[in-house]
Amino acid sequence: MAYDINEDEFKAILKAAEDWPRADTLADFSYGTAGFRMRADLLDYVVFTVGLVASLRSRKCAGNAIGVMITASHNPAEDNGVKIVDPMGEMLMSDWEPYAKFMANARTPEQLRNCFMHIINTAQVHDHNARKVIFARDTRPSGARLVRALKAALEATNTEYVDYGILTTPQLHYLVKATNTVKMDKPYGEVSEEGYYKKLSKAFSEAINHATRPPSTPVTVDCANGVGAPKMKKLIEHLPEGALDIQIVNDRIESPEDLNNHCGADFVKTSQRVPQSFTGKAFDRWCSLDGDADRIIYYFVEEGKVFRLLDGDRIATLAAAFIGELVRKAGLDEVITIAIVQTAYANGASTKYVEQNLKLKVEFTNTGVKHLHHVAAMKDIGVYFEANGHGTVLFSERAVKAMRKHQPQSTAQMEALETLRALTDLINQTVGDALSDFLLVETILAHKEWTVKEWLATYTDLPNKLAKCLVTDRSAYTSVPGTAEQRLATPARVQPKIDEIVSKYRDGRCFVRASGTEDAVRVYGEAAEVYDTEDLVAKVCDFIGSYGGKSP
């Protein structure tokens, strides 16, 4: 069936678009790992068109609220980005990504009209349907201007909207799901930022209820000088008194240039160093959020200032082991299975530990939580984390029902069951969430009465290194499908050279892929020895530098 464009609506769109002209770039914009991301001054028109797509998506989804988040997360302060959130709080359905790309690249009013018509007809979008969009932004100054571009598109398309101001990315995901489930039997939570803190703090109190005692040592949180700082402070106000001793550093949101600058999860993970403002003594527990608080990683120093990282792989293994124990103790191990989803960036030692010690199945996907989430959602309990600290644990409807119905046969079974049920509320079910993951890790350490030392002792990481190479055209780097991005299809000469280099190192593994959030290719390497790893990655970077660009 063919749908016609609403001429009045389209006139309003063209009029509004005049204030947000497309940046004069030759290259096409693409919807990458986490939406559009680039220098903020190029984004006005892109955000405007995202508003149009979000409005159409809402109409397609029977008027359910669609989320739009304006953030560039771990990127430097001069960047910004925008992404669309689907009705249950998950990332935009992949079939719609090309529509968003198509619209952002329309260069003339005619092309914009064609794109609009194309979406309406191929996705079969009813013009008369209700439409609603809710949105938020991180602390970047450019966010305020981009919000105006978004509002212009929403007003032109007669779309109802709610502006939630400054939030973390996972808070916006939470609000999308809460908004769309408000009339259901089991609403996801109160539709407010306050409701988010209330849900998390209540679940946290219940989850630590059966722990012998709260963690006896303080934990310090590096907030990357981003939105995580004020939001973590608000969360602390809601937590039960004395439950956790939390110190906050890097909370200067009034200095935009400090955002992610020598601090935050991405800096700590990639440089394998402590962040700015680090004052920890040996074995003090520290963690870092990223710029929009959807990633978290832990770390500490040993005596002699040896740096030790407890990254996303560590959080995944900690969570899977703990939840597995609870399932067993609750008497549900015959009914509920657990699986782990990782990407190629997972340290080989973590995968081995999961398979050999935890006896759990590991599945691999391409980079991007949007890929991991879908695989994890198919499991009874799906634990997914990227090594960079982005991830969560999904409980299927089936698992939640089994937990609800199960009659415990002993006090121990009852306690395990109560803790499990609390985790289903504590852990953000829409997307990786640094604040929720933080409470999860603290809960587990309290139950196990572990310090960072015992946590680190579960397995030994293979030495690894992640580097970035600047190339003239990152789109020239494409991966062979089905290899979890571990093999390059193009440029044709690169993969054979990587294979040749890797073959010279014991336990060597190395792959190269184009980043979907930065204008660079990433090079990941592992080997049996630290100096081998450094050497391996340096050689691959040198080759890429000589081949198609310049290495940093």
Q: Which is nearer to ligand G16, 82 or 150 (CB)?
A: 82
90 among annotated binding-site residues:
no
- Residue 434 is a binding residue for ligand G16 (CB under 6 A): no
Nearest-approach distance from CB 442 to ligand G16, in angstroms: 21
Query: What is the rounded CA–CA span in Å between residue 58 and residue 89?
Result: 13
Q: What is the DSSP secondary structure assignment for residue 281, as one 8-state letter?
A: P
Chain positions 229 to 248 lying near ligand G16, rule: CB under 6 A, are none
**Residue 255 in marked binding region:** no
The answer on whether 522 is annotated among ligand-binding residues is: yes
Cβ nearer to ligand G16, comparing 157 with 366: 366
Backbone torsions φ then ψ of 39, nearest 5 degrees: -60, 135
Q: Reading across the β-sheet that carries 219-222, which strands appear in turn? A: 246-249, 219-222, 285-289, 296-301, 307-310
The phi, psi pair for 86, rounded to 5°, reads -80, 170
Q: Would you give the binding string for ligand G16 spanning residues 82-121, x where CB under 6 A is met?
A: ----------------------------------------
The reply to whether 388 sits near ligand G16 by the rule CB under 6 A is yes
Q: Which segment (143-151, 305-313, 328-336, 366-374) binds ligand G16 by CB under 6 A?
A: 366-374
Q: Which stretch of DSSP H or E encloses residue 104?
A: helix 97-104
Q: Which is nearer to ligand G16, 17 or 136 (CB)?
A: 136
Cα separation values, 235 from 31, 193, 240, 430, 454, Å: 32, 10, 10, 19, 27
CB of 170 to ligand G16, least distance (A): 11
List 74, 131, 285, 539, residue binding ligand G16 (CB under 6 A): 74
Residue with tokens 């939840």: 323
390 part of the interface to ligand G16, by CB under 6 A: yes
73 appears as a binding residue in the annotation: yes
CA 201, 202, 205, 206 dihedral sign is negative
Nearer of residues 33 and 551 to ligand G16, judged by Cβ: 33
Does position 34 interact with ligand G16 (CB under 6 A)? The reply is yes
3-state secondary structure of 295: strand
CB neighbour list of residue 207: distance below 8 Å, 6 or more residues apart: 419, 422, 423, 426, 439, 443
DSSP 38-75: EEGGG-HHHHHHHHHHHHHHHHHTTT-EEEEEE--TTS
Q: 516 labelled as ligand-binding? A: yes
Burial class from Cβ neighbours inside 10 Å (0-12, 13-18, 19+) for residue 237 reads: exposed
Comparing CA positions, the residue from 292, 240, 244, 241 lying closest to residue 266 is 292
Give the active site residue among 58, 73, 142, 350: 73
Least distance to ligand G16 from the beta carbon of 343, Å?
A: 7
Residue 401, classified by CB atoms within 10 Å of its CB into exposed (0-12), middle (13-18) or buried (19+), is exposed
**Residue 142 binds ligand G16 (CB under 6 A):** no
Q: Is residue 388 a known part of a binding site?
A: yes
Name the amino acid, one letter, at 237.
E
Q: What angle do CA 172, 404, 203 make, to 5 degrees?
A: 40
Which string of x and - marks every residue 321-360 that binds ligand G16 (by CB under 6 A)? ----------------------------------------
- Least Å distance, CB 68 to ligand G16, is 14
- Both tokens of 107, joined, read 């260069």
Which residue in 295, 314, 465, 509 binds ligand G16 (CB under 6 A)?
295
Minimum distance between the CB of residue 457 and ligand G16, rounded to whole angstroms?
Answer: 27
**Cα separation of 59 and 67, whole Å?**
13
Dist. CA 97–CA 148, nearest whole Å = 23
Binding of ligand G16 by 33 (CB under 6 A):
yes
Window of 50-58, 181-189, 364-372, 472-480 that interacts with ligand G16 by CB under 6 A: 364-372
Nearer to ligand G16, 266 or 284 (CB): 266
Integer Cα distance of 45 and 57 in angstroms: 18
Annotated binding residue 95: no
Using the rule CB under 6 A, give the single segment among 209-217, 311-319, 363-371, 491-499 that binds ligand G16.
363-371
Q: Scan residues 394-413 and list those touching ligand G16 (CB under 6 A).
A: none
499 to 528: interface string for ligand G16, x by CB under 6 A: ----------------xxxx---x------
| β-strand pairing of 219-222 with 132-137 | unpaired
Residues 248-277 that bind ligand G16 (CB under 6 A): none
DSSP 253: T
Cα–Cα distance measured from residue 452 to residue 445, given in angstroms and rounded to the nearest whole number:
8
Query: By C-beta, is 56 or 224 nearer to ligand G16?
Result: 224
Residue 479 annotated in ligand binding: no
Report the b/e string of 346-378 with b at 16+ CB within 10 A. Answer: bbebbbebbeeebebebbbbbbbbbbbbbbbbe
479: annotated active-site residue: no
- Select from 338, 369, 422, 467 the one that contacts ligand G16 (CB under 6 A): 369
Among the listed residues 193, 258, 294, 418, the single contact to ligand G16 using CB under 6 A: 294
Q: How far is the CB of 32 from ligand G16 (least distance, A)?
A: 6
* Span of 7-15, 187-195, 297-305, 362-370 interacting with ligand G16 by CB under 6 A: 362-370
> Under the criterion CB under 6 A, does residue 425 sit at the interface with ligand G16?
no
Q: Does 443 bind ligand G16 (CB under 6 A)?
A: no
**How big is the site for ligand G16, counted in residues (CB under 6 A)?**
18
Q: Which region, judged by CB under 6 A, interacts with ligand G16, from 186-194, 287-295, 333-341, 530-538? A: 287-295
Six token digits for residue 365? 């996907």
**Amino acid, res. 270:** T
Closest to ligand G16 by CB, 264 vs 324, is 264
Which residues are the active-site residues? 73
**Binding-site residues from annotation:** 73, 290, 292, 294, 386-388, 513-517, 522
Residues that bind ligand G16 (CB under 6 A): 33-34, 73-74, 290, 294-295, 367-369, 386, 388, 390, 515-518, 522
